[in-house]
Amino acid sequence: MQIIKRLRRKKRIRQQDLAMAIGVSLRTIQLYEKKDANIPIKNLTKIADYFGTSIAELYIEEVNEAREPYLTGDVFSAKGTFLKFLPGGKAVVRAPLVLIEKQKAFLEKFDLNSALDELPKIEFLLNTAVRSHYMAFEISGNSMDDGTIQSIPAGALVLTREVERTEMETVPKKFLSQPFVLIGKERIFCKSVTAISKDTATILCHNLNPSPEYHDFEIPISEIRGFYQVVKKQI
């Protein structure tokens, strides 16, 4: 992003100083300062924090200074989600984050409007986005870690999009084998949904980890309070 170079020069910060602060190499910072650089969300967050701004503002300034079309009104906000659409189809989403240590408190207030207001927010950059309610979760346990690129290990942060219960029940095929964060009555868990039965109104939850300690199981859809499809992860 060329805005990084402009901000750095404005504040008279050397590339090597920024690299040290972010925890990357000098060469990496040089690559990050190029237009259309592919910057991991973890490091982009660190850069935004370093300059006292947000990921959304970085992209807004990048677009504006390049004199590209920018629609200030192209936003979506609902249920704690703030979605900012950018030129080229990308979007920045700011979503409520449920950390592991806050899961119990979140479940106790799940049905209250204040549940989302009390959560911290985290930003993700998406290549495409739809106007919907997004939430982020910190993953506990390694049931979804099989060592492949699809893995979602313990401690990972995942961005999810809410799926309405009626959508899960009536259009199941597109969700099969997709990872979900499921809000149960007493716990929050991340599983791959491999089958949805309309006859028994149940879903089959699958673990990626092949270890014998992890077993697939069925759960009635009625026992799930919220369905959130994983759309991006940050490790």
Domains of the chain: 2-65 (1.10.260.40), 76-234 (2.10.109.10)
Q: What is the structure's pLDDT at 72? A: 46
Q: What is the block-wise mean pLDDT of the chain (235 residues), using blocks of 10 residues?
A: 88 93 93 84 87 78 54 73 83 91 92 84 88 94 94 94 89 89 95 92 95 94 95 87
Which pair of structure tokens corresponds to residue 52? 């006292």
For residue 43, the SS3 value is: helix
How distant, in Å, are the alpha carbons of 1, 48, 136, 173 from that of 35?
5, 16, 28, 39
| For helices 2-10 and 15-22, angle between their N-to-C axes, nearest 10 degrees | 110
CA atoms of 37 and 55, how far apart (whole Å):
14
Cβ-Cβ contacts under 8 Å for 73 (sequence gap 6 or more): none
Q: Is 127 helix (H, G, I), strand (E, B) or coil?
A: coil
| Nearest in space to 207 (alpha carbons), one of 145, 153, 154 | 145
For residue 112, give the DSSP letter. S
Pure H helices in the chain = 2-10, 15-22, 26-32, 41-50, 55-65, 103-108, 114-117, 165-170
